[in-house]
Amino acid sequence: MTIDIHVHPAFYAPINEDPAREELRHRELDIHKNGTAPLEHIFNQMRCAGLDRLCLLPEDYSSSVGCLVENEEIRRLVDLAPDKFIGFAGVDPRDPAACEKLEDAFSRLKLKGLKLHPGRHHVMPSDPMMEPIYDICEKYNKPILFHAGLSWEPDTLTSYCQPLAFETVAAKHPRLRICLAHFGWPWVRETAMLMVKYPNVYTDTGALYFDNAKEFYTQMLTRDIPTTWIDRSLRHQVMFGSNNPRFEQIRMAQAIRELGFRESTLELIMGGNAIEFLGGLD
């Protein structure tokens, strides 16, 4: 089983019937000239990348520009291809209805985890306003995928997303599985530090800010930190994530496979760790 833990379906055709909504998504995600993608194209892309499942992430910025991809839309996409899609929930912590929405997303919509973007929400992960959200995730045994490190989206502040900003959450909630997405780039060593200390901290590989996929991954995963750190110590905490459509799923999946990890490590990165993070696929 191979899984891409970090996919944004904002431009999938079935949820882009309204051109004004599509335009809002282009503007607020700062992704342009990509058009919308029929699901058949997504499936072709998955086949070329050698991926069985995609984890679809919403974007809820209700307190600022609005909810760009809603939990209901994620559910709708999952229902269109339940054998291929895994759906996450989104809430804006500044939205007074955040907890109610999250309860609904887990209990009624049966979404598998929560996506949060502290840099866009302008809320520190350790802010007390986050505690009820963490409590709900623990109650339902659902993981949180946090944006970490640089974000290309407009109105994002990186200081909210530095890996160290998540340490309090990892320490205070040892039963809560959290993913510091994008390997916390450029703070790759700090992300590695948190993972080696806290077994409930995961990361994904959704970063490609310079060069091509092979060159960037070679820098990030063999020079910024040596390959051995992952292959020996962090092999159960790193998940393949592409951050598609910002980045290139096919070439990133191919590049990860060519970095020289042990075959058993590669199997964990490409799917096994995601299943653990999600708490199973059922």
Partner 1 sequence: MFVKTIHLLTKQYVQFQVITPEVEKIVAESGIREGMVTVLTKHTTTGVTVNEALECLESDMQNALALFAPEDRPYSHARMLRDYGSTAGNPTGHLKAMLTGNHCHFLIQDGVLQRGGAQDVYFCEFDGPASRNVLVIVEGQ
Residues that bind partner 1 (rule: CB under 8 A) add up to a total of 30
**Mask of contacts with partner 1, 145-174, x by CB under 8 A?**
-------x----------------------
Single residue of 94, 214, 236, 257 touching partner 1 by CB under 8 A: 214
Residue carrying structure tokens 């992960």:
125
> DSSP assignment, residue 114?
E
Is residue 145 exposed (0-12), middle (13-18) or buried (19+ Cβ within 10 Å)? buried
- Min. distance of Cβ 34 from partner 1 in angstroms? 7
Pick the closer one to partner 1 by CB: 32 or 175: 32
Which three-class secondary structure state does DSSP give residue 225? coil
Binding span for partner 1 by CB under 8 A among 52-60, 68-76, 111-119, 243-251:
243-251
Q: How far apart are CA 244 and CA 34, in angstroms?
A: 11
268 belongs to the binding site for partner 1 (CB under 8 A):
no
Q: How far apart are CA 9 and CA 266, in angstroms?
A: 25
Pick the closer one to partner 1 by CB: 35 or 82: 35
Q: With the C-alpha atoms ordered 212, 242, 182, 30, is the resulting torsion angle positive or negative?
A: positive
Single residue of 247, 253, 268, 278 touching partner 1 by CB under 8 A: 247
175 belongs to the binding site for partner 1 (CB under 8 A):
no
Residue carrying structure tokens 């450029």:
186
Q: How far apart are CA 182 and CA 156, in angstroms?
A: 15
31 belongs to the binding site for partner 1 (CB under 8 A):
yes
35 belongs to the binding site for partner 1 (CB under 8 A):
yes
- Min. distance of Cβ 255 from partner 1 in angstroms? 10
Contacts of 247 (CB under 8 A, 6+ apart): 206, 207, 208, 213
Q: What residues make contact with partner 1 under the rule CB under 8 A? A: 29-35, 37-38, 40-41, 44-45, 47-48, 152, 208-215, 245-248, 250-251
